[in-house]
Chains A and B, each alone.
Chain A
């Protein structure tokens, strides 16, 4: 099996298994367990397959291109350390699966559990095998995420949700810091490849950015490994199902931080900063964790704090900057995983079979569960560091290192004290649960668990004993591989043996064992009293501080910042945006300087000057009147639009002028249709004086407006007096006819050169039309606007007075001449539209203009004849027009694919037709017809939908009169 395949399947298999497990039926407990167990065992087999290479000191490596542009590869890499961890992850994973099969209740959705567990396993494998810093950070966050899901598996309980949330917040925040730290390291080294990084230890340690990088990386590692002051998440994570605790808090999640510290040990350690940060965190955690663990009444809580304490021990070893201490650390990682996993499982069995984990209620279980009792006894003894068990050997190594650390007497003393504490809590675990009188009123009658549930514990406990008795023969080679992969040639000589003669560490061990027993006996009275929390530091609750910090950050601080910096008022937001734009423009002008242009301005033509006097008056008038005289404002806006239109004509842009004129018509109709639904606002001069606040606000807005106007005028003048940049114009002008087959360059750009943009634009137009239509379908006018307008009421009243007249006759009489004219003009306008469409490629016109003309023809009929009359005579189906247009335009684009050309390539030829003459037949014309159809459809749809509201308004009112409660039905 090739290296790449092996490594890739080791990472991918668990994820694939997770996917498969998630597809199983909710109660397919056995299938999911078999699947998960199979995957874990397959992973273990893969790890074992790699052993021959690893044992030769080789490194397996697989590289896959990831972002080659950035020099990033997806690298999987397995050396001795990664091998050891991968073995631990898959091996203990397999045991946890077996255990979980019997632990999980049939009522739980077990496949989901195994899916999370497998995904977590995959993330762990990916993490330990990462050969790239960024990839490492990715898998790191992935472990945080899946541990969140696992801890919160029983999400119906508040404790599980809280525990999962706290764990995720702490570890994922640490993960972000780690990511920043790893990026810094990548910046220092110039590569994110782990091999390159590991080879540049001196460069990293001597770089000015070393300290920030170290602090960030350690923030990640220490949060993940639950080191003081971030330790508080771990006890709350005990709300997880026990198999999760056994897996996450013995062999995997919390060991990840230690793994990272070991991994980066050769390049980051060896400095004073490392010693003080890592060593102090480890020391405090070791002592506080062990102390608090003594006073826990929950079995899992006790184990949680003891885990924290042991993690602190390992961290302290790593912080000592000594090669031997590193070997001891790796060894203890292994030992702790073994005995802690078995202890968690034992606690789970006790909980499962007796119904409680409270040490105060448990007692004398040795009689009902003798076998489990023996197993737990051995594992707890290993945890306490009793000779002939694995915990003893690594603890001896720890004592030796503590003694040899430079002249710090505090270290051996603390080590001994913490060790005594660990004896005390191990004793409490065993003595409190299995010895003493028979238990009273337990929720369940305790009995031995199924044999297979006990099986993983047996395996692990056997491991503790074998390693404890014959360390060099069992775990020796593996430990050596892992240590060598980190330290290389610098690996020191060490001896794994149970008996080193009578030396100081052994004396310390004996003192700790004796002291622990004495302490347990002395504390009996206090422990029996059942007081919650440890004495002296009861008030120092990490979680409370964490919750307060979160409340402050996410609520109080956020609210205060929002109050100071934010606003929900649109006017203020717009004001900010405008001021920012002004500032940006001002800064650019100040920074780069604005000199006079290179072109001499042309002389002022009095006609255009006069036109613009009108235009400016219209614009100012519209601004003045928009509040109280909306109709006048619309007219003035139209006037300004016409001036713009004239300007386009004047300066050689007939296409623009045409489109502007047509859009002006349609916009005006649209706005006038909307007027009916706006509230009446009467200008009563002198009725109430304007407040000072309002005046000052208006003055401020006026200043902004004047500044914006002056700025834009100056900018426009500066642009116009410079030679325009020769960007693409020349290119388009040269090729419009020869390659696009049209003389109207603007149109050729729209339907040929930049047809993709136009396609996007008509889709936008279509989307807007549909949105307008959808919004209006459920339109509810304000109550005071529902009433029929005054003018209509007058007309109807007049019609009603005379018996010979019908309703609506007055308006028909008044509009007689316009109606005759518009009906006569309808075919003429339609022909004009077709004309504009067909000639668009060569002469001003085109699909947009033609579409607008056609829609104006239709709208005119609506305006003059009314909706009912028009729809009797002329049924326009705007949605069909739009659909046809989009299909045609898109289809023309796709058709070019059939000829092996890129999307939207056009074809053109000139055909000689009888009677008509030479006619351009470009496929772009078809595209333009699509544009035309869409513009007709979209415009008509919007205007008609708006016009129909008046009809609906009447109906709503009539219904309201007859049946006040009836709802207004939607209009089709």
Chain B
């Protein structure tokens, strides 16, 4: 189980990093999105992978880590998901504006001269 998710995180990271190093802005945005999946999963996994742990308390009850899922990484990742949406939106618009301004979608704002 842990191995599967770990490999998943690895593949997401690898794909993200590959795209991050590409010359086209769109590729970089995709890479950042993949990387944020990987990072979110990683943060989430620091609480331990628990199947069947209760995510919600009984009314009036007091929770315990033995029976309940760790809520802290979840709360962290929840905000991270929303923020990564915001950054994706921002990068996309910067990309579009840069492309309109420079006429190219190369990350440096001009085609590479060899």
The finding on whether chains A and B are genuine partners in a shared complex, rather than unrelated, reads yes
**Contacts A644-B40, A775-B94, A781-B100; is A733 near B22 (CB within 8 Å)?**
no
A724 CB contact (under 8 Å) in B31, B64, B70, B99? B70
A640 and B98 alpha carbons, distance in the complex (Å): 28
Contact B34 A745 (CB under 8 A): no
Contact A721 B89 (CB under 8 A): no
A656 CB contact (under 8 Å) in B11, B15, B44? B44
B19 to chain A, nearest CB (A): 5
B17 to chain A, nearest CB (A): 4
B24-46: which have CB < 8 Å to A?
A: 24, 26-27, 29-31, 33-34, 37-38, 40-42, 44-46
| Chain A hits for B29, CB < 8 A | 671
Contact B85 A705 (CB under 8 A): no
B57-101: which have CB < 8 Å to A?
A: 57-65, 68-72, 74-75, 77-79, 81-90, 92-97, 99-101
Contact B62 A716 (CB under 8 A): no
A674 CB within 8 Å of chain B: yes
| Chain B hits for A938, CB < 8 A | 86
A771 and B94 alpha carbons, distance in the complex (Å): 10
A713 CB contact (under 8 Å) in B9, B33, B65, B70? B9
Contact B2 A935 (CB under 8 A): no
B9 CB contact (under 8 Å) in A569, A674, A705, A712? A712
Contact A626 B55 (CB under 8 A): no
Give the interface size bracket for A toward B: 35 or more
A197 and B97 alpha carbons, distance in the complex (Å): 61
| Chain A hits for B54, CB < 8 A | 652
A677 nearest CB neighbor, chain B only: B96
| Chain A hits for B89, CB < 8 A | 670, 768-769, 772, 942
| Chain A hits for B58, CB < 8 A | 743
Total A-B pairs, Cβ < 8 A: 331
Contact B55 A719 (CB under 8 A): no
Contact B105 A679 (CB under 8 A): yes
Main secondary structure of the interface of A (DSSP, over half): helix
Contact A716 B10 (CB under 8 A): yes
Contact A780 B22 (CB under 8 A): no
| Chain A hits for B68, CB < 8 A | 733, 745
A641 and B34 alpha carbons, distance in the complex (Å): 8
Contact A705 B21 (CB under 8 A): yes
**Contacts A620-B11, A746-B75; is A779 near B96 (CB within 8 Å)?**
yes
| Chain A hits for B90, CB < 8 A | 768, 771-772
A654 CB within 8 Å of chain B: yes
Contact A750 B75 (CB under 8 A): yes
B4 to chain A, nearest CB (A): 5
A773-788: which have CB < 8 Å to B?
A: 775-776, 779-783, 785
0/1 string, A656-694, CB within 8 A of B gives 1: 100110010011001100100111010000000001010
The segment out of A44-52, A98-106, A371-379, A757-765 that lies at the interface is: A757-765
A647 CB contact (under 8 Å) in B8, B46, B94? B8
Contact B60 A737 (CB under 8 A): yes
A553-606: which have CB < 8 Å to B?
A: 568-571, 574-575, 578, 601-605
Contact B55 A652 (CB under 8 A): yes
A605 CB contact (under 8 Å) in B1, B13, B44, B94? B1
The segment out of A446-454, A473-481, A512-520, A611-619 that lies at the interface is: A611-619
B30 to chain A, nearest CB (A): 5
Contact B30 A626 (CB under 8 A): yes
A507 CB within 8 Å of chain B: no
| Chain B hits for A654, CB < 8 A | 55
A650 to chain B, nearest CB (A): 6
Contact A746 B78 (CB under 8 A): yes
A851 nearest CB neighbor, chain B only: B82
The segment out of A140-148, A166-174, A489-497, A840-848 that lies at the interface is: A840-848
A768 CB contact (under 8 Å) in B20, B24, B87, B105? B87
**Contacts A622-B15, A736-B63; is A571 near B57 (CB within 8 Å)?**
no
A262 to chain B, nearest CB (A): 58
| Chain B hits for A749, CB < 8 A | 71-72, 75
B95 nearest CB neighbor, chain A only: A674
Contact A733 B62 (CB under 8 A): yes
Contact A843 B85 (CB under 8 A): no
0/1 string, A631-658, CB within 8 A of B gives 1: 0011001001101100110111111100
Known: A750-B75, A776-B93. 14 other contacts (CB 8 A): A612-B7, A620-B11, A623-B16, A626-B24, A634-B30, A637-B30, A656-B77, A679-B99, A708-B17, A713-B7, A730-B65, A734-B63, A768-B90, A776-B97
Give me the 3 closest cross-chain CB pairs, A-B, nearest first.
Answer: A709-B14, A713-B10, A733-B63
- List 25 interface pairs A-B (beta carbons < 8 Å), by A numbering: A570-B107, A601-B2, A602-B2, A616-B11, A619-B34, A626-B26, A647-B41, A653-B55, A677-B99, A679-B104, A706-B14, A710-B10, A716-B10, A716-B42, A724-B70, A727-B72, A729-B70, A730-B65, A737-B59, A745-B57, A746-B78, A750-B79, A761-B79, A769-B86, A942-B93
A residues sitting closer than 8 Å to B (CB atoms) are 568-571, 574-575, 578, 601-605, 608-609, 612, 615-616, 619-620, 622-623, 626-627, 630, 633-634, 637, 640-641, 643-644, 647-648, 650-656, 659-660, 663, 666-667, 670-671, 674, 677-679, 681, 691, 693, 701-702, 704-706, 708-717, 719-721, 723-724, 726-730, 732-734, 736-738, 743-746, 749-750, 754, 757-758, 761, 764-765, 768-769, 771-772, 775-776, 779-783, 785, 842-844, 848, 935, 938, 942, 946, 949
